Amino acid sequence: MKHYYSTVDGVILTHSDIEEKNFLETITLHFERAREKGGFDIAEIILPNYNFTKVMGFTEDDTFELEEYAKNNAPLIWELAKEHGGINNA
């Protein structure tokens, strides 16, 4: 991931540039949380559909909260991605 967005309750969110594939613009959100015994919990969501592509270590309740956070912050993340890097064609 390229761009730092936030840290909330120990969960760091970064996001990609806008990627265009098959005429659809997407952004990948990467959530990461350090584990007490080492390693990281990881989740990735693809905007605009909010599909999880990876989930390791987060509970079902956690993923629900991550999805809600993504939905609530998506407009700003799209704006930041446009400012940071524009659109990459995949």
- The 10s digit of each residue's pLDDT in 12-47 is 999 999 999 889 999 999 999 999 999 999 999 999
* pLDDT tens digit sequence for 54-82: 999 999 999 999 999 999 999 999 999 99
Cβ burial of 70 (10 Å; 0-12, 13-18, 19+) is buried
Using CA atoms of 20, 11, 64, 22 in order, give the dihedral in degrees to the nearest 10. 10
**Predicted local confidence at residue 33, as pLDDT:** 97
Q: What is the pTM of this model?
A: 0.88
